Amino acid sequence: MKNSIQLSQKSTINAFLLFFIIHTAQIGVGIHGFQRIIYQDAKHDAWISVLLAGIATHIIAFIMIKTLEMYSSNDLYGIHQDVFGKWIGNFFNIIYILYCSAAFFSVLRNYIEVVQTWVFPNVNTWFLAATLLLIVMYTFTGGLRVIVGVSFFSLILSIWLLPMLVYPLKFMEPRSLLPILEADMSGILKGVQSMTFTIIGFEVLNVIYPFIKDKNNVRKYVHLGLLATTFIYVSVMLVSITYFSGDLLTKTIWATLSLFSIIKLPFVERFEYIAVCFWMLIILPNLCLYVWAAYRGTIRLVNVNATKFVWIFSLSIFIASLVVKNRTQINMVNNYFGQVAFYVIFVYPIFLYVVAVVKRKFKSHKEQIE
């Protein structure tokens, strides 16, 4: 098949690791404060918007896998070239590379803002950006297996944070969830769209699929990863709605961190400090997977080695981090990126699948005639 990827056995990974890849790719900086944005759209039915967004990821992932199964030895970049031809295909490849770069930047810059607001207000942006980028560069140069290993340990080492959210339940008010479905459907659906920035990440499947050894198990582990993510987001939203009053939730920028701030342990007074610092381990898979996905697309266009690419990429992100300085600019970046991501993640895969199926049927019909 044209543009297929030739891989050695040691370059592939087992399908069960997709559970860790998909889940850690989705859990990032968005979980810090997605509650306020969704609540503004759907009010106390915001948890329904989160649940519907999770269901939507399962549907889109199913369509992605159906498309990838048609090109088992190709990733999204190769599929673009095969379906649309060299020039139009490369145009779509450039857009996807820019998307991955924008996603990387959004995660990095939002995390830097959280660190500066909650823990180190006097630390310069350039220092935090440089430190994080150096860690990402070191991990990236280890290759896909190292990145997957980081995803695995990120989940294993951070799973203890989730039970900490049980502490606020003693202050919860379940009646805050009633009456159910009071918000109109347009508000709930708008909340689903607003979840885009928070729930993205599973699209890395488009690039990592050819590297999976036992492809017959891909669907199972991808959906398990998405299910785990949906469970966490719905749980966090339910806790937030029942803990905060409606007016307070709309004014709380980082609701999840605020929930952590009420946790008091005998040996730790400011638990949110630990949570924010530990979150670097959680966003590291996000960053590494996006830079790796951008690299896989770049080598389709130009001949560049991994080391040279990651230096150029990191320098560009570092400069962009210094340009975006305040909360207003960061919010603007998040809003624009979220709007673009909605079409890239939830709309485009359907279009690509339809075009790929039509082209395959047309090609098959043409071969039969000949």
55-93 pLDDT per residue, tens: 999 999 999 999 999 987 889 999 999 999 889 999 999
How far is the C-alpha of 55 from the C-alpha of 57, rounded, in Å?
5
* Model confidence at 369: pLDDT above 70: no
223 contact partners, CB below 8 Å, separation of at least 6: 58, 61, 62
267 contact partners, CB below 8 Å, separation of at least 6: none
* Model confidence at 364: pLDDT above 80: no
Q: How confident is the model at residue 365 (pLDDT cuts 50, 70, 90)?
A: low
Q: What is the pLDDT of residues 103-131, one digit of tens each?
A: 999 999 999 999 999 988 999 999 999 99
Tell me the C-alpha to C-alpha distance, in Å, between residue 103 and each of 29, 48, 52, 277, 333: 11, 25, 22, 21, 10
Greater confidence (308 vs 277) lies with 308
Q: How confident is the model at residue 209 (pLDDT cuts 50, 70, 90)?
A: very high
Smallest CA-to-CA distance from 296 within 13, 61, 93, 7 is with: 93
pLDDT of residue 368: 63
CATH fold, domain 9-362, is Amino acid/polyamine transporter I (1.20.1740)
pLDDT of residue 125: 94
- Arithmetic mean of pLDDT over the chain: 90
pLDDT of residue 175: 83
Smallest CA-to-CA distance from 359 within 86, 6, 80, 96 is with: 80
* DSSP string of 128-192, one letter each residue: HHHHHHHHHHHHHTT-HHHHHHHHHHHHHHHGGGGGGGGGGGGG--GGGGPSTT-S-HHHHHHHH
| Residue 171 amino acid letter | F
**DSSP 3-state assignment of 265?**
strand
Tell me the C-alpha to C-alpha distance, in Å, between residue 5 and each of 12, 148, 207: 12, 19, 11
Q: What is the pLDDT of residues 31-51, one digit of tens each?
A: 888 999 999 998 889 999 999
67 sits in which H/E element? helix 46-70
Q: What is the pLDDT of residues 248-300, one digit of tens each?
A: 888 888 988 888 888 877 777 778 888 888 889 999 999 999 999 999 999 99
CB-based burial label for 145 (10 Å; 0-12, 13-18, 19+): middle
- The domain segmentation of the chain, as residue ranges, is 9-362
* Model confidence at 236: pLDDT above 70: yes
pLDDT of residue 269: 74
Counting residues of the chain whose pLDDT is more than 70, the rounded percentage is 96
pLDDT of residue 178: 82
* Model confidence at 370: pLDDT above 70: no
Q: How confident is the model at residue 164 (pLDDT cuts 50, 70, 90)?
A: confident
* Model confidence at 172: pLDDT above 90: no
Q: In the predicted model, what is the mean pLDDT of residues 141-165?
A: 89
133 sits in which H/E element? helix 125-140
Long-range contacts of 302-306 (CB under 8 A, 24+ apart): 306/140, 306/141
